[in-house]
């Protein structure tokens, strides 16, 4: 049987805050989870798949460029939406 992780375990492995994991669950995103009654648990394979799906970068400059490109795309989409109204 696969080991189930607590949100504290997942926070330690991923470096994400417990509150961020909680917000992701409420928003319907983030790492898939299961409920055992009132308990929230994460399967190890789901956490591993989430980490594997994150983009890998060879430098911080590359990561910054990707983030900047994404932010610019979001701003451009907002401008286009505002222009249509």
pLDDT of residue 9: 97
37 and 6 in one domain? yes
45 and 31 in one domain? yes
HEC profile of 51-70:
HHHCCCCCCHHHHHHHHHHH
Q: What are 28-84's pLDDT values in tens digits?
A: 989 999 999 999 999 999 999 999 988 877 777 765 665 666 556 555 555 555 566
The arrangement of strands across the sheet holding 4-5 comes to 4-5, 39-43, 34-36
pTM: 0.67
pLDDT of residue 72: 63
83 and 49 in one domain? no
Q: What angle do CA 55, 25, 8 make, to 5 degrees?
A: 80
Tokens of 11: 């926070």
23 and 4 in one domain? yes
Note down the domain range covering 6: 1-54
Domain count, the chain: 2
């Amino acid at each position: 049987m696969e080991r189930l992780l607590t949100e504290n375990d997942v926070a330690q492995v991923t470096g994400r805050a417990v509150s961020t994991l909680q917000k992701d669950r409420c928003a319907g995103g983030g790492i898939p989870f299961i409920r055992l009654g009132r308990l929230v648990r994460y399967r190890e394979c789901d956490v591993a798949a989430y980490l594997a799906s994150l983009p890998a970068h060879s430098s911080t400059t590359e990561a910054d460029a990707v983030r900047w490109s994404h932010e610019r795309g979001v701003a451009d989409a907002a401008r286009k939406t505002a222009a249509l109204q």
